[in-house]
């Protein structure tokens, strides 16, 4: 069993430019049968572009794609990728919300056709869901639009692993756990290991370095459109990965050390009670960073939106601004420039009488560009010219720039790179010290360590109220699950 015979995919000197931006700078990468390759890097490092090339969505400018010894570069498309056994789970979900789970399986598996196709599709996707996510609670007749984000993600993943007439040789998972809670994510990663041990190949892109280190056989680190490190997973550590990505090392303790806010000293700025029965009430004081924890989709977002709307059941003193987590659906105005996207939250400040002063608004957004480090030559460029992480920074700038005493954040760091995160954490801390109150829903345990106080959500209710001193990963997890589960 030589390394050569195990070779499934070879990317050879793949380069891709978008205008003046070199997204990929001659990347060469091998994928072998029976391995999971972790792919890490900052936003904009080129991971997604590379995988879009491999899955046929983008044609490389130069370079070759070789699958199972055959050069397939000419005329490579999503269909040929599919026929050659390359599957991809995209970061933004690609299911049809108006179709059922089984019908969606039919869409990506053209082989399911003819009389009795419905039964075949149900059996295929149902069996795969049972295999990857036992106890998933999804019916194959459910319309996808009625499912939660996490369940849609599960369907999407199961669909990629399902096999009809074309093999599933290589499965690319682009941030697959971003909307899954810890337990479901664990099931997925276990399945990846099983699949790999059965001879399959997996590419795992994730910002959660822990899961990459645990699940991968090899890890490739990308930076500025190239692979800068590639080695066996066991030869990396969390710190060495972060170092290779070229960002500042994580300093978890720094935030904890200076966060000596005392609850009793500061006035209460808001109280909010979830609508579920038997719940605790959330209280936030001036200058506090309050974390909303728990598994994903347990009512955290709903509570944030209610606080934002000053809805009944909340007692909010002061203006509220919101940082959206789901950029596409809740945050970005796609036709506008970066500057317009930033300034929309604070337009009143730029009024001269009844009329807006566009120069003032542009100056304002330029100040925030420098303050929060939005990487763009010109704030007048369209918002969609930015990478995901920088779009998120623009949304932070919109909320922080608004005249609001309270900032609510809806899991805002989804798919954001480590470097950006550290910068934003520091800024949140700084703003809190100036007297602003933050409500921060996050699905990442590390981020809770930046909070002064944590409320754990379960099934729409607040079930635990932890001070910083009491907050440990174990306690949060404990509260997130029912005692009898």
Partner 1 sequence: MSALAKFGKQPWLWAWVGAIAVWAATAAYTGGTGSGQVMSAALTFGAFFVIVALGQMFVITLGPGNVDLSVPACMTLAGTVAMKSMDGSGAMLPLGLLLALAIGLSVGAINYSLIRLLRIPPIIATLSSSFIYQSAAIWWNRGLRVKPPTELAEFTTAKIAGIPVIALCVVVLAAIGHVVLTRTLYGRGVIAIGQNPRAAHLAGVKVERIRAATYMLSATLAGLCGYLLAGFSGGAALNMGEEYLLSSIAVVVIGGTSVAGGYANVPGLWGAALFLFLLVTMLNTMGAGAGVRLVLTGLIIIGVIVAASGGKRTT
Partner 2 sequence: MSALLSPRLLRSLLPPLSLAALLIAIFWLQPRTMSYFGLNLLLNLAVPIALATIAQMFILCVNELDLSLGGFVSLVACVTATWVHDTPLLGFAALVGLIAVYAALGALIHLRNLPSIVVTLGMSFVWLGLAVLVLPTPGGKAPEYIRSLMTLKPFFVPMPIIASVLIAGLVHLFLMRSALGTVLRGAGGNAKSLERAGWSILRIKMTMFALAGFFGVLSGMALVGLTTSADANIALRYTLLSIAGVILGGGEFVGGRVSPIGAVIGAVTLALAGSFLSFLRLNPDWQIGAQGAILIIVLALRVLISRTEAKA
Point out which residues bind partner 2 (CB under 8 A). 55, 57, 77-79, 82, 88, 90, 94-99, 103-104, 106-108, 110, 112-114, 117-118, 143, 145-146
Binder of partner 1 out of 45, 51, 402, 416 (CB under 8 A): 402
Q: Which is nearer to partner 2, 69 or 110 (CB)?
A: 110
Burial class (CB in 10 A: 0-12, 13-18, 19+), 87: buried
User: 9 near 31, Cβ under 8 Å?
Assistant: yes
Q: In the complex with partner 2, which residue's Cβ is closer, 151 or 449?
A: 151
Q: Are strands 282-285 and 314-316 parallel, antiparallel or unpaired?
A: unpaired
Q: Which stretch binds partner 1 (CB under 8 A): 37-45, 190-198, 220-228, 350-358?
A: 350-358
Whichever of 90 and 308 has its CB closer to partner 1, that residue is 308
Question: Residue 354 binds which entry of partner 1, partner 2, none, with Cβ cut-offs from 5 to 8 Å by kind?
Answer: partner 1
- Tell me: does residue 434 bind partner 1 (CB under 8 A): no
Give Cα 298 distance to the centre of its chain.
17
For residue 88, the SS3 value is strand
The token pair at 8 is 């499934």
Asked if 329 touches partner 1 (CB under 8 A), the answer is yes
Name the binder of 308 from partner 1, partner 2, none, CB < 5-8 A by kind: partner 1
| Among partner 1, partner 2, none, residue 253 binds (CB under 5-8 Å by kind) | none
Residue 232 interacts with partner 1 (CB under 8 A)?
no
CB-nearer residue toward partner 2: 160 or 292: 160
Question: Quick one: which of 318, 324, 292, 335 has its CA closest to 450?
Answer: 292
**Min. distance of Cβ 296 from partner 2 in angstroms?**
22
Choose from partner 2, partner 1, none: what does 106 bind? Cβ within 5-8 Å by kind: partner 2
Contacts of 44 (CB under 8 A, 6+ apart): 375, 387, 389, 390, 417
Least Å from the CB of residue 384 to partner 1:
11
Binders in 272-311 for partner 1, by CB under 8 A: 305, 308
The yes or no reply on residue 18 touching partner 1 (CB under 8 A) is no
Tokens 């993600």, residue located: 153
Nearer to partner 1, 41 or 401 (CB): 401
Kindly state the tokens that stand for 131: 């295999």
Secondary structure (DSSP) of 268-298: EEEEE--SSSS---EEEETT-EEEEEESTTS
Beta carbons of 285 and 266 less than 8 angstroms apart: yes
Contact 399, 321 (CB under 8 A): yes
- Determine contact, residues 167/1, Cβ cutoff 8 Å: no
From the list partner 2, partner 1, none, pick the one residue 82 interacts with, judged by a Cβ distance below 5 to 8 Å according to partner type. Answer: partner 2
3-state secondary structure of 335: coil
Q: What pairs with residue 352 in β-bridges? A: 355
Binding residues vs partner 1 (CB under 8 A): 305, 308, 321-322, 324, 329-336, 344-345, 347-348, 351, 354-356, 358, 398, 402
């Amino acid at each position: 069993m030589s390394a050569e015979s195990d070779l499934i995919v070879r990317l050879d000197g793949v380069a891709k430019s978008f205008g003046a931006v070199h997204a990929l700078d001659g990347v060469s990468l091998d994928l072998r049968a029976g391995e999971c390759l972790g792919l890490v890097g900052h936003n904009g490092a080129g991971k997604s572009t590379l995988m879009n090339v491999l899955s046929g969505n983008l044609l490389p400018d130069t370079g070759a794609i070789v699958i199972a010894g055959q050069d397939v570069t000419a005329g490579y498309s999503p269909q040929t990728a599919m026929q050659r056994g390359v599957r991809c789970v995209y970061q933004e979900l690609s299911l049809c919300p108006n179709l059922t789970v089984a019908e969606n399986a039919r869409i990506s598996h053209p082989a399911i056709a003819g009389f009795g196709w419905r039964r075949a599709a149900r059996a295929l996707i149902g069996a795969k869901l049972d295999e990857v996510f036992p106890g998933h609670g999804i019916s194959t007749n459910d319309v996808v639009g009625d499912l939660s984000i996490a369940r849609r993600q599960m369907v999407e993943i199961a669909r990629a692993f399902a096999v009809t007439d074309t093999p599933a040789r290589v499965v690319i998972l682009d941030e697959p756990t971003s909307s899954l809670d810890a337990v479901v994510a664990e099931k997925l990663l276990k399945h990846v290991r099983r699949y790999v041990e059965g001879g399959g190949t997996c590419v795992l892109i994730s910002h959660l370095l822990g899961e990459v280190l645990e699940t991968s056989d090899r890890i490739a680190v990308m930076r500025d459109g190239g692979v800068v490190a590639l080695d066996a997973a066991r030869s990396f550590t969390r710190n060495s990965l972060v170092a290779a990505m070229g960002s500042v090392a994580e300093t978890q303790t720094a935030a904890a050390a200076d966060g000596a806010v005392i609850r009793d000293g500061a006035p209460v700025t808001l109280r909010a009670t979830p609508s579920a029965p038997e719940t605790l009430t959330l209280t936030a004081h001036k200058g506090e960073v309050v974390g909303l924890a728990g598994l994903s989709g347990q009512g955290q977002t709903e509570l944030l939106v209610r606080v934002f709307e000053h809805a009944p059941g909340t007692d909010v003193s002061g203006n509220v601004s919101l940082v959206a987590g789901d950029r596409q659906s809740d945050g970005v105005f796609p036709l506008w420039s970066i500057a317009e996207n930033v300034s929309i939250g604070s337009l009143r400040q730029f009024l001269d009488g009844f009329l807006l002063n566009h120069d003032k608004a542009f100056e304002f957004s330029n100040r925030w560009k420098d303050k929060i480090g939005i990487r763009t030559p010109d704030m007048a460029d369209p918002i969609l010219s930015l990478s995901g992480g920088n779009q998120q920074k623009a949304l932070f700038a919109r909320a922080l720039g608004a005249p609001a005493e309270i900032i609510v954040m809806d899991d805002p760091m989804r798919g954001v790179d480590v470097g950006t995160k550290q910068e934003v954490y520091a800024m949140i801390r700084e703003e809190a010290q100036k007297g602003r109150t933050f409500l921060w829903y996050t699905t990442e345990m590390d981020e809770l360590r930046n909070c002064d106080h944590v409320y754990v959500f379960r099934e729409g209710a607040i079930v635990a109220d932890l001070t910083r001193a009491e907050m440990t990963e174990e306690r949060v997890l404990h509260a997130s699950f029912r005692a009898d589960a």
